[in-house]
Amino acid sequence: MKVDRLVGMIVTLLNRGRVGAQELADIFEVSPRTIYRDMEAINMAGIPVRSTPGAGGGFEIMPDFKVDKMVFSAADLSAILMGLTSLSQMVRDDELANALAKVKSFVPADRDGDIALRANQLCIDLSPWLGNPDTRPYLERIKTALRDSRLLSFDYVDRRGNRTARTAEPYRFVLKSSHWYVQAYCRERGDFRLFRLSRIANLRAEEERFTPRDCPPQILDFSEALERMQIKIKVRIHQSALERALDFCRCEDVTPDGDEHYIASFPFVENDYHYRILLGFGDACECLGPPHIRAEMGRRARGMAALYEGQ
């Protein structure tokens, strides 16, 4: 992106002084002609850049011009570093490393300790304790395909367990509820789809490139529709499962019931997904009502038990 490149050039000139056009072109992977155009844009933005010809020449910001690093407050710099550091832990990326270095160059020496302390007050680590080890390499592979507009091919397992071969044009990463997705145009379906990375296998970035098309915004907030569909059911939770139950229930919706159990008002939608959530608690959760949901839970539990009878 041109803006990122211009900022990078300004920071490079501030830190290194005079730099040759060819060296800048090598650093930012553009042609010398592009460097000259970018320098004109930087001058027009009010930052005086002068050019010195001949051996040892190059571009430099006028010595009497100073960029006020105080334009960022300690809170601003802490927030930026916090976000970049957390993201760099999830995706190994030279661009992120460069961005971190650029932001750190704006940290005054007398505030370095305070800003570092604030930036370390939040750590975001979305890698699972256990789970699919392929997700992180897939992130890096997809990012490269996004950058180069290359087709992706992979096998995809949908929520019903059906496995199909797909070819897709990647457009956007999506992180939703600790799960990574890629929004892409699926050539088999002729439409945009949201693919969950944990359901992808045999991911390959193809040599073939595609011409990007208009990508619609991904609608990720279903809270209003979900509220219309949800009902509250009454469940009895053993204390061993309370921590997990609080991933779904508010603390104020949970009350003690004896020494080892709790009664909870549990948000529920009558579909397979939510029945499986309840069944996932095993014998640490009992549905008390409504009666028809309790009966359906019993039917499904008996079906599970039948798998193991007679062995």
In this structure, are 44 and 83 located in the same domain?
no
Q: Which of 61, 83, 110 is the last residue of a domain?
A: 61
Give the pLDDT confidence score for residue 3 in this predicted structure.
Answer: 64
Mean pLDDT of the chain: 80
What is the pLDDT at residue 1? 43
Which has more confidence, 245 or 111?
A: 245
Q: Is residue 265 part of a domain?
A: yes
Q: How many domains does the structure of the chain reveal?
A: 4
Same structural domain for residues 51 and 76?
A: no
Q: Is residue 13 part of a domain?
A: yes
Are 152 and 204 found together in one domain? yes
Reported as a pLDDT band with limits 50, 70 and 90, residue 65 is: low
pLDDT at 122 over 90: no
- Work out the pLDDT band at 180, boundaries 50, 70, 90: confident
Query: Which one is predicted more confidently, 268 or 85?
Result: 268
Q: Do the domain assignments include residue 218?
A: no
Instruction: pLDDT band for 155, please (50, 70, 90 cuts).
Output: very high
- 215 located within any domain: no
- pLDDT at site 167: 96
300 occurs within a structural domain: yes
Q: Is residue 50 part of a domain?
A: yes
Same domain flag for 145 and 114:
no
The pLDDT value recorded for residue 254 is: 93
The residues pairing with 60 across neighbouring beta strands, listed in sequence order, are: 50
Q: In this structure, are 47 and 73 located in the same domain?
A: no
Answer yes or no: is 220 within a domain: no
pLDDT, greater one: 114 or 245: 245
Do 232 and 271 reside in the same domain of the chain?
Answer: yes
- Please tell me the pTM assigned to this model: 0.52
Work out the pLDDT band at 219, boundaries 50, 70, 90.
Answer: low
Q: Is 136 exposed, middle or buried (0-12, 13-18, 19+ CB in 10 A)?
A: middle
What band does 143 get if pLDDT is binned at 50, 70 and 90? confident
pLDDT for the residue numbered 140: 81
pLDDT at 27 over 80: yes
CATH number of residue 23's parent domain: 1.10.10.10
Residues 203 and 141 in one domain: yes
Q: What is the pLDDT of residue 93?
A: 55
pLDDT at 150: 94
At residue 273, the pLDDT reads 85
Q: Residue 281 — very low, low, confident or very high, per pLDDT cuts 50/70/90?
A: very high
Query: What is the C-alpha separation between 251 and 239, in angstroms, rounded?
Result: 14
Same domain, 36 and 92: no
Per the model's pLDDT, the better-predicted residue between 163 and 218 turns out to be 163
pLDDT band at 285 (very low <50, low <70, confident <90, very high): very high
> What residue numbers bound the domain in which 86 lies?
69-119
Regarding whether 254 and 202 lie in a shared domain, the answer is: no
125 falls within a domain: no
* pLDDT(70) > 50: no
Which of the listed residues 61, 83, 98 is the one where a domain comes to its end?
61
> Are 141 and 189 part of one and the same domain?
yes
Same domain for 48 and 89: no
pLDDT band of residue 16 (cuts 50, 70, 90) is confident
Q: What is the pLDDT of residue 124?
A: 58
